[in-house]
Structure 1
Amino acid sequence: MAIDPERTFKPINIAVLTVSDTRTPADDTSGDILAERVKAAGHKLAARAIVRDDASLLAGKLNDWIDDPAIDAVVSTGGTGLTGRDVTPEALDRLKAGGNVRDIPGFGELFRMISYRSIGTSTVQSRACAVVARGTYIFALPGSNGAVKDGWDWILAEQLDSRNRPCNFVELMPRLREK
């Protein structure tokens, strides 16, 4: 990361969403890892929830958070695999139907490149992805602790730091709702 010491860190409000039929607040280790990293980086943990692997429920929660001006970004964990219950990318597709949603294809591509170093070719089973929806970033990571660490430590920690050069997601935030 190329931190520019001349720039000021700007904390943002981040919500953490765990997508799972089996996790509870007591055993949501990947959600715990994300929440801890969000706060350790100096950002505000604006909200946290667990939602079942159901595209309608997930899209509903995401729409609520997108419409909340106190949330700048959502980082989800889970639901990005290939099984029938993995529906996080499909929930993001539902958001697209409402308009003003743009894919961030480089996020998933970079995540899989980084993940390849840890798990080899098994990374092809990941559908990690990201969008910016009506001015709110949404990053969908796999549900494993290792995937969450890789996604935060190697991508999001840098891109959600306003001091990161040559560019970062934070500096684009004032312009995300432009038409």
Structure 2
Amino acid sequence: MMLIAIASFTAGTVTAIRASNATTLLVGRSIQGLGAGGITNLPEVILTDLLPLRLRGRYLAGLNSVWAIGSTSGPVVGAALAQKVNWRWLFYVNLPLIALGLILMTLFTRLQPLPVFLRHKLSDTDFGGILLFTGGITAVLIPVTWGGVMYAWSSWHTLTPLLIGIAALACFVA
């Protein structure tokens, strides 16, 4: 999954670099964002899966320190590149980091897959919970964006999905 996330981030980066209009740039950023979501979250999942509980804090602190440094320095470096050079350099900067990540992932990751059958994995998945949570969040967020803009807050267009979403989330929690 991590390699898929890196590949998605790479495809989005290359698309954004090659963009000749705003639509292509937005498509590239969207693809890049999907990969970035995986790159941001999967290391924590991997660390919590591989490390015993007593060591997790140390490793997660290091991981989050890197994230904090990137989050604070990234906008400054990005603004400087956009003003002084060219906006495409915001994406070119990612290419050596992507290459380094791919090389390190392939060199140092030695996972031994457990013999688990698809039938067992599917039986462990809470499809009802996924449906209630995703549907409930979506049903709450859509009317929250509509309220006061597209429809009045007291409109049935806003209240119906909002109440259904709250009910779905309550069922999920229960």
TM-score of the aligned structures, taking structure 2 as reference length: 0.24
* Bigger CA radius of gyration: 2
TM-score of the aligned structures, taking structure 1 as reference length: 0.23
Whichever structure has more strand as a proportion of its residues is 1
Question: RCO greater where, 1 or 2, for CA within 8 Å and sep 6 or more?
Answer: 1
Whichever structure has more helix as a proportion of its residues is 2
